[in-house]
Structure 1
Amino acid sequence: MKLVPAWSIPRWVLPGFAAAAVGGLIIVGVILPSLFRSRQALPPAPPVGVAANVLQPPSTPPSVPAPATVEYPKQAGQAAPAVDQFKGGPPAEVRNERAATAQEDALSREELKNEIAAQAGGAVETARNSVQGQQGQQGQFEGTLGRLLKAQKEAAPPAPAAPPPPYPQSFIGVGERDQARASVGVGGDIAIRIPIPVRPDLDRRPRFNTEAYDRIEDNPFRSVAENPLATFSIDVDTASYANVRRFLSQNQFPPKDSVRIEELINYFTYDYPQPTGKHPIAVHTEVAAAPWKPDHRLVRIGVKAKDIDMSRRPPTNLVFLIDVSGSMMPPEKLPLLKSALKLLVDKLTENDRVAIAVYAGNSGLVLPSTTGDKKEIIIQTLDRLEAGGSTNGASGIQLAYDTAVANFIRGGVNRVILCTDGDFNVGITNQGDLTRLIEDKATSGVFLSVLGFGMGNLKDSTMEKLADKGNGNYAYIDSLNEGRKVLVEEMGATLMTVAKDVKIQVDFNPAQVNAYRLIGYENRVLRNEDFNDDTKDAGDMGAGHTVTALFEIVPRGIEIALPAVDASKYQQPAAFDRRSGSNEMLTVRVRYKLPDASESTRFDVPLADRGASFDSSSADYRFAAAVAEFGMILRESPHKGAASLDHVISVADRGKGADKNGYREEFVKLARRARAIKELR
């Protein structure tokens, strides 16, 4: 390449080069820094999607009062009664009660609809104001840009930038991020406290809804001639009910797969008699007409675990395993978690021990095993926890079980209480490996309770499986009241196991039953051969627990369309023997193990159908049926028949019974809210 001497360049070109150089210096030194500072001064833009929906009310208004603050009507009455089961119609007192509440129900329905509509309108107005504010900010920005162009001409030097605000400090018991390198031992004498800067721009709170639920297909009707046995594991989890309540309180129907009907039913306790024999659990049965399909029968199987005098309860060895990752920052997560655990700490004594392990990117022991009478130390440790970082749940699980085993109390309660949103994203993250890890740890004799918190990234499916494989229970804590219910009111049921691996097998009499369907328990169904296999895991029952299962029965002589199966060429259908002619509808078989046993014990309970009507059944029976009907409506079950929210409200309201803690009244309010939401959709 031939170089051109500078003196040979025409003189008219040199001013252009100089002007371009000066312009570049002005852009780099004036415009870009000023634009950056003005951008920093602007408030954050509203969430994506607000401006697009400003002219139309959102289908799920974001601002809804919590259930505890909403004033509901006293009584909903009955707008569309189901078929009466009394011959000749219901008694006069029932007719009078329904007539007296009809007018009040119409008023209460309108009040609730108006409340929800007003909340939706308020959300729209808030969105409109937000967009208008954003437009005003845009105008201010354009004015700022004009002033910057003027400053370019004047070549004014940029103002010095303000120093960034200091980052808040996070207290966790481990060197949690790459910025902090620490070697943390397990079982030390003191808690390790390391202040670590939390970057607001690295906040890991979920920005999108990533909640995960397993798909549920309603159990189908099965022919007794081909499938005379139904086998399943009991389920004492209650998380689904609290989660459904959370959605309805936000004026939206829950996802279908978040509705597990057995957990809705088992959220409530029922007045089953205490076990009186040698077994720690007892079975009680009842049968009447199915309210949504009167020509079908509805069988209730209730299992009651023996109560334990809490003043004489065995000592406990607890490990609180707490998720302190960045996703746990919102107030309904870590702050609520700490408040709930303090309620449990307040009930502990000098015979109990508590350790606290935490995990985020790594795990650490922030409080070694400490006696329960040192409440101030335990509570101070909880108060110092703050959220930040990723989520390595597997390392925390390993540490928590190691700590529980190191302080194991023979003859006592040894349990890990995992508190998380279930969003494991570092280390072992897939469900298969996590559940295998829990299965391996469950052989140590340490049980597991899982408490779920928060919304937006709730991994319900993962937490349910961990509790199932860890010989434990799963609850969702959406409020401090729910924390009090799980950790204080039901402390014995949550912490003290009296029977483990409880399985139920129902043997149906083909002379009495044409077909049957188990309502709920879709992910608890077992193979028939699993009933006698003591290596197969099943649900555990704590002190005072009640478990209820419902079967919808198609009696002999009532036709039902079932998938056809071609007959075998080599085998004939089994013929009825003489026992088929008895008046027994079915026999309930139960297997369980004592907490420290490896072999199971079995006992049987037969049931005969006396032809009882639905209205003549017990209050507990009617209430459980109403909750099941509610669940089928939320799930849009193909087997819901004539089920309606009006009937749910009417039956549940009349079946509340004593309702000591008001949980059944709360259910009636939720059903009314669901009805109002449905009518506004």
Structure 2
Amino acid sequence: MKNIIVVGLLLISGILYGQKKVSGTVIDENDGSPLPGVSVTVKNGIHQVITDLEGKYEVDVTPEDVLVFSFIGYETKEVQVGTNSVINVAMLAGGAELEEVVVVGYSSRKMGVAKRISGVFKRKNSAPAYDSQPIEFNTEGYNTIEENVFKDAIKNPLSTFSIDVDAASYSNVRRFLNNGQMPPKDAVRIEEMINYFDYDYSEPAKEDPFSINAEVSSAPWNQKHKLVHIGLQGKNIPVEDLPAVNLVFLVDVSGSMSDANKLPLLKSSFRMLTQQLRPQDRVAIVVYAGAAGVVLPSTSGDHKGKILKALNGLQSGGSTAGGEGIKLAYKVAKENFIEDGNNRVILATDGDFNVGESSDAQMQRLIEEKRDDGIFLTALGFGMGNYKDSKMETLADKGNGNYAYIDNILEAKKVLVSEFGGTLFTIAKDVKIQVEFNPAKVKAYRLIGYENRLLNDEDFNDDKKDAGELGAGHTVTALYEIIPFGVDSKFSPIDDLKYQKIEISQEAEGSDELLTVKLRYKDSRGSESKLIEKPLKDTSIKWADTSENFRWSAAIASFGMLLRQSEYVDDMNYQDVLELAQSAEGKDEQGYRAEFIHLLKSCMLMARN
């Protein structure tokens, strides 16, 4: 009876105040394409939504309300609701030509409620506006990246690295650009930006867990050079055929997690993941702040209500004992270990550990100790201002795991729903790539990205050396820029040696192979590696005949190099990248490539090419 009365009162309230839902689509006025990520706000109200990948939105309003549509790089629009139930809006680019956007820092109110305390937002012909609060510094942390240089193919014929399926850098870069800021150089990991997107590679044959795909053409930023595209496709496994999972949600509930884009977004993300669970799957929830504790013992996936209730009850407050939380989460995972299943800790945090074991070295040793128990790690990053990307990357790299940055609910859906299998189910571990270049064809080469994943050549055959993991259905893409033999280039690495001469073998001279790709991997529960080899012939494809895979990866690599102000991309600008990306957008069923093109247009307004 009480529930009926409450529902009746809500209905009467809606009628009295004229509350209703308004929906619509926001598009670019110039080309008619949908605009994802547009903020739709009720003026002088509390309701705010963001358009999805198709530019669609839905919001609660009254006839008297005014909707405000705003997006970086576009003119803001205001629309009176009135009697409309559908409001479609076309936005014009160029209205917000930002000259400078700087976010200075973040601080915390009492009880851990974070707030932005200072910023400079400067438009042309306007004075800077300052908040009244004192300035504090942004404390986000990133590992230093030293860009790979060209190596002589005779003196250094082998290039060895660990695969990287993480995509955190792209969504983090997107967060900066959507906030009107150019990202820090060290936040731009080009391989993660490339691997954010899906590619149309051939499926694996026979029993191999992945296929090798390769293609070569000219480099778009230097026509004298060649670009080699190497792609791996992980075997797709239907969700119903995947092994049972034993998950431990390890949730940071410290005071720094109270912002809307931290714990509230985290809870929404895990609610979506919970809906994907099957009866054979199990979930426990461990939290940490000043101390660590279990708030939900391991629970079957057919008790979703119990899991959701525990998630909804999470609140933030206190300091951050990250090390204790990780130890407890691995302990719970081991106690509920599923043989022949997928056992995984999912760490969700801003990475700001400040109590107990918090240094990168300490956390690395802790994770390395735990990975031998057959328990994988997924690291999910949230928030801004105090975000510790360096710690999150270290944890994922050393914990047999993967790393994603969740900047909005659509990214959470991508990682935890659309890519459920790839994120949570490992089909191959310790995957290493070693490329041997034919010095009769290749004068010098450089690997684009993967700076933090480089291995010694001898590590390739050493099964004790840790490397990256590949999930079900995941793709991995790597690019090499090559200076062909006989081509003069200002990037040629070193002079000829004076006291010794290295000759090219007759076999290399007579070969039509440009290079050979070798891969080593272990089964997800195995300890001995397996080897796959694939030679690539020196049959360069004309640029116009290259695949969409090739052109798209080249566009993203170019974009990353421009953001990093790389010396190797001086013959290309953002307009060139835009044209290249538009030529390779393809089917784009999920809309991620279209989103990148809009992001690139926003970036162009800030870059002043």
Q: Structure 1 length as normaliser, TM-score? A: 0.72
Does structure 1 residue 115 correspond to structure 2 residue 96? yes
Residue 318 of structure 1 aligns with which residue? 247
Does structure 1 residue 545 correspond to structure 2 residue 474? yes
Q: After superposition, what is the alpha-carbon deviation per residue over 1:308-361, rounded to whole angstroms, capped at 9, x for unaligned?
A: 011222111000000000000000000000000000100112111000000011
Residue 352 of structure 2 aligns with which residue? 423
Distance 2:357 2:266 in 1: 24
Task: Give structure 1 stretches of 5+ with no counterpart.
Answer: 1-67, 78-105, 124-198
Residue 202 of structure 2 aligns with which residue? 273
Query: What amino acid maps onto 2:95 in structure 1?
Result: N
Q: 8 Å contact 2:170–2:192 — kept in the other structure?
A: yes
Q: After superposition, what is the alpha-carbon deviation per residue over 1:367-390, rounded to whole angstroms, capped at 9, x for unaligned?
A: 000001111111111111110010
Distance 1:494 1:414 in 2: 12
Residue 64 of structure 1 aligns with which residue? none
Distance 1:425 1:553 in 2: 44
SS at match of 1:339: helix
Residue 110 of structure 2 aligns with which residue? 201
Distance 2:261 2:26 in 1: 18
Residue 175 of structure 2 aligns with which residue? 246
Distance 1:401 1:256 in 2: 34
How far apart are residue 560 of structure 1 and its match?
A: 2.5
Distance 2:516 2:240 in 1: 37
Distance 1:407 1:386 in 2: 26
- Check 1:252–1:200 CA distance in 2 against 1; reply closer, same or farther (3 A cut): closer
Q: 8 Å contact 2:379–2:392 — kept in the other structure?
A: yes
Once the two structures are superposed, the pairs formed by residues 82-231 of structure 1 within 5 Å of their partners are: 111-117=92-98, 201=110, 203=112, 205=114, 208-231=137-160
Distance 1:337 1:70 in 2: 27
SS at match of 2:590: coil
How far apart are residue 281 of structure 1 and its match?
A: 1.2
How far apart are residue 202 of structure 1 and its match?
A: 5.1
SS at match of 1:666: helix
Once the two structures are superposed, the pairs formed by residues 5-84 of structure 1 within 5 Å of their partners are: 71-72=27-28, 75=31
Residue 257 of structure 1 aligns with which residue? 186
Distance 2:504 2:547 in 1: 36
**Greater share of residues in strand:** 2
Distance 1:238 1:294 in 2: 29
How far apart are residue 639 of structure 1 and its match?
A: 0.6
Q: After superposition, what is the alpha-carbon deviation per residue over 1:415-447, rounded to whole angstroms, capped at 9, x for unaligned?
A: 000000000000011100101100000000000
Residue 378 of structure 1 aligns with which residue? 307
Residue 508 of structure 2 aligns with which residue? 579
- Check 1:428–1:672 CA distance in 2 against 1; reply closer, same or farther (3 A cut): same
Give the one of 482, 485, 497 matched to 1:567. 497
Give the one of 405, 412, 416 matched to 1:476. 405
Q: 8 Å contact 1:591–1:600 — kept in the other structure?
A: yes
Task: Give structure 2 stretches of 5+ with no counterpart.
Answer: 1-23, 34-72, 76-90, 116-135
How far apart are residue 578 of structure 1 and its match?
A: 1.8
How far apart are residue 118 of structure 1 and its match?
A: 11
Does structure 1 residue 509 correspond to structure 2 residue 418? no
Q: After superposition, what is the alpha-carbon deviation per residue over 1:94-133, rounded to whole angstroms, capped at 9, x for unaligned?
A: xxxxxxxxxxxx999x94321345998xx9xxxxxxxxxx
SS at match of 1:278: coil
Q: After superposition, what is the alpha-carbon deviation per residue over 1:527-562, rounded to whole angstroms, capped at 9, x for unaligned?
A: 101101111000000000000000001111111244
Once the two structures are superposed, the pairs formed by residues 419-568 of structure 1 within 5 Å of their partners are: 419-561=348-490, 562-564=492-494, 567=497
Q: After superposition, what is the alpha-carbon deviation per residue over 1:566-618, rounded to whole angstroms, capped at 9, x for unaligned?
A: 7375x542442323421110000000000111110011100012232212101
Residue 238 of structure 2 aligns with which residue? 309
Give the one of 229, 233, 236 matched to 1:300. 229
How far apart are residue 75 of structure 1 and its match?
A: 4.6
SS at match of 2:543: coil
Does structure 1 residue 414 correspond to structure 2 residue 343? yes
Query: What amino acid maps onto 2:112 in structure 1?
Result: D
Q: After superposition, what is the alpha-carbon deviation per residue over 1:265-296, rounded to whole angstroms, capped at 9, x for unaligned?
A: 00001000110122111110000111111111
Does structure 1 residue 357 correspond to structure 2 residue 286? yes
Q: 8 Å contact 1:510–1:576 — kept in the other structure?
A: no
- Check 1:295–1:461 CA distance in 2 against 1; reply closer, same or farther (3 A cut): same
Does structure 1 residue 627 correspond to structure 2 residue 556? yes
- Check 1:550–1:307 CA distance in 2 against 1; reply closer, same or farther (3 A cut): same
SS at match of 2:148: coil
Residue 643 of structure 1 aligns with which residue? 572
Residue 148 of structure 1 aligns with which residue? none
Query: What amino acid maps onto 1:567 in structure 2?
Result: L
Distance 2:197 2:473 in 1: 12
How far apart are residue 70 of structure 1 and its match?
A: 7.3
Q: 8 Å contact 1:228–1:510 — kept in the other structure?
A: yes
Distance 1:264 1:413 in 2: 27
Q: 8 Å contact 1:113–1:677 — kept in the other structure?
A: no
Q: 8 Å contact 1:438–1:469 — kept in the other structure?
A: yes
- Check 1:111–1:589 CA distance in 2 against 1; reply closer, same or farther (3 A cut): same
Query: What amino acid maps onto 1:606 in structure 2?
Result: P
Give the one of 267, 270, 275 matched to 1:338. 267
Q: 8 Å contact 1:112–1:676 — kept in the other structure?
A: no
Distance 2:98 2:322 in 1: 42
Q: Sequence identity, in percent? A: 51
Q: After superposition, what is the alpha-carbon deviation per residue over 1:45-83, rounded to whole angstroms, capped at 9, x for unaligned?
A: xxxxxxxxxxxxxxxxxxxxxxx9975456599xxxxxx
SS at match of 2:535: strand
How far apart are residue 218 of structure 1 and its match?
A: 1.0
How far apart are residue 468 of structure 1 and its match?
A: 0.6
Give the one of 590, 596, 599 matched to 2:525. 596
Residue 177 of structure 1 aligns with which residue? none
Q: 8 Å contact 1:76–1:672 — kept in the other structure?
A: no
Q: 8 Å contact 1:296–1:552 — kept in the other structure?
A: yes
- Check 1:321–1:635 CA distance in 2 against 1; reply closer, same or farther (3 A cut): same
Q: 8 Å contact 2:98–2:605 — kept in the other structure?
A: no
SS at match of 1:114: coil
- Check 1:69–1:362 CA distance in 2 against 1; reply closer, same or farther (3 A cut): farther
Distance 1:439 1:372 in 2: 29
Q: 8 Å contact 1:505–1:531 — kept in the other structure?
A: yes
Distance 1:400 1:639 in 2: 44
Distance 1:623 1:660 in 2: 15
SS at match of 1:550: strand
